[in-house]
A and B are shown apart, each in its own frame.
Chain A
């Protein structure tokens, strides 16, 4: 009887071993699960608000910028047609001072651990599948604009002030205003901080200030106002999207 029990125990042990072996073998075919992560995002304005642009010294005195929402993807393209589900996101929109010295809060990044290879985002004006037209967030400056800029441009004895109401609008429904942008990180835990870096003065680099000065000389006005639909507005969009796009930097938090 005792021997029979010993044999039974041995059989059970071997069955358990067999199960463990099978499970471990199958587990080797399955990727490691991702874990939830949650960490701060901050904006870090770059530069001092000034830029030298083809002979003109341009200084921003005011830069209210609506940022978000942001979606981060594991795929090389953040486009909604290639990235069905974000690996992490900031779903809120924040109004930030683009000329602030130092960091300012942007929101919380919620998502999963793992690799990030791209981003898609808006400047406060989104066009979700559920919306019939591009829709500004209530926090946008104006309200209703992606950003409002003010500044001065000088070239020798010539100088003038300018303002800009800028709308960065998604081109198609279901897409972001910035459908895809580089963003590289391997987020292993919540011990990270996302820094969103940009230099608003560099967004003016495609503007033709000589042409603006000529227009002002003709019109006799003292302030040049840039509004959506104008050539100058399109030039600022080129600065935002092509010449000085946002940089995304994930900074590991040091262990306390």
Chain B
């Protein structure tokens, strides 16, 4: 009888302890920092290194605004989720040194949250700025419904091509992973994990639409090719009239994944840049968020 009782206890205790091993969790905190890639704050330099513009152009940005928010994370094992649908307008050219702290989630399960994502939607009324973003920049983005807006210039051999381009290219970025491929993030017990959605500023100078590791070459000669009136100001209208077969010849370019974003039945350099704008949301530096889909 005594042996039977012990067996009964073991019978119940072992699965229970296994279950507890799966479910017992400590707590920790999560902080989300939105950071600009150096290409936004420091520009791109000409040269032969991988990060350089290979055809001699120097790129600088004077203004770089984005709408970003709806940060969310999910645990696949339990389905538990956290999130905040707030959308902020951020001036990335003048971002604080450590980036913008957009969210803090306290007392969450200290485990790996393997699904992380965020949106870069088209700006809407109610979106808010975070200091030092100016209210006039917030109003500008909302009035135009832009998801991304930037101003800057390309320079080469004494020639300057200026640009001021806004895009309503609302995109959600999901399944984010760090550069080493680890999905999501892990919250330490009784500690804080800081994660960094990272906005890139050079994808429209790539020679392809990268997937995963950025195997690409940076080129910018198309700035001059598309400036049809040669007045040094490259407009959106000029981008839409600029044939990719002239400005982005294959090879060296590969235009796979470029969409006819303006629906005119023709692939222009505008479609190329707009398609690349939809890829600039990354994670922990150069980590990918490979699942992208349009959002309003």
Contacts and interface: CB of A to CB of B under 8 A. Distances in A.
Do A and B truly interact?
yes
Interface of A: 7, 10-11, 14-15, 17-18, 21-22, 25-26, 29, 75-82, 169, 171-172, 175, 177-181, 205-206, 208, 231-232, 234-235, 237-238, 241-243
Contact of B245 (A81, A180, A181, A206): A206
Contact of B250 (A26, A29, A237): A237
Given A11-B3, A14-B7, A238-B244, A82 B211 contact: yes
A29 B251 contact: no
B81 to A, nearest CB: 19
B122 interface: no
Given A82-B288, A205-B265, A242-B255, A77 B212 contact: yes
Instruction: Give the size range of B's interface with the partner.
Output: 35 or more
Contacts, number: 100
Contacts of A241: 254-256, 258
Contact of B258 (A7, A205, A242): A242
Interface of B: 3-4, 7, 10-11, 14-15, 18-19, 22, 175, 207-208, 210-213, 215, 243-246, 249-252, 254-260, 265-267, 271, 288, 290-292
Given A76-B175, A241-B256, A242-B258, A18 B10 contact: yes
Nearest to B265: A205
A243 B258 CA distance: 9
Which 6 A-B pairs rank lowest in CB-CB distance, beginning with the nearest? A81-B212, A79-B211, A82-B212, A171-B254, A81-B213, A234-B245
Given A171-B208, A242-B259, 19 more contacts: A7-B3, A11-B3, A17-B11, A26-B18, A76-B175, A77-B212, A79-B210, A171-B254, A178-B256, A180-B211, A180-B257, A208-B243, A231-B249, A237-B250, A238-B244, A238-B267, A241-B255, A242-B267, A243-B267
A179 B256 contact: yes
Contact of B251 (A15, A77, A169, A205): A169
Contacts of B210: 79
**Residue of A11, A76, A175 most packed against chain B (CB within 10 A):** A76
Contacts of B250: 234, 237-238
Nearest to B259: A242
Contacts of B11: 14, 17-18, 21
10 contacts: A77-B211, A77-B290, A81-B215, A179-B256, A179-B257, A206-B245, A232-B245, A234-B244, A241-B255, A242-B259
A76 to B, nearest CB: 4
Contacts of B259: 242
Contact of B260 (A177, A235, A237, A243): A243
A185 to B, nearest CB: 17
Contacts of B211: 77-79, 81-82, 179-180
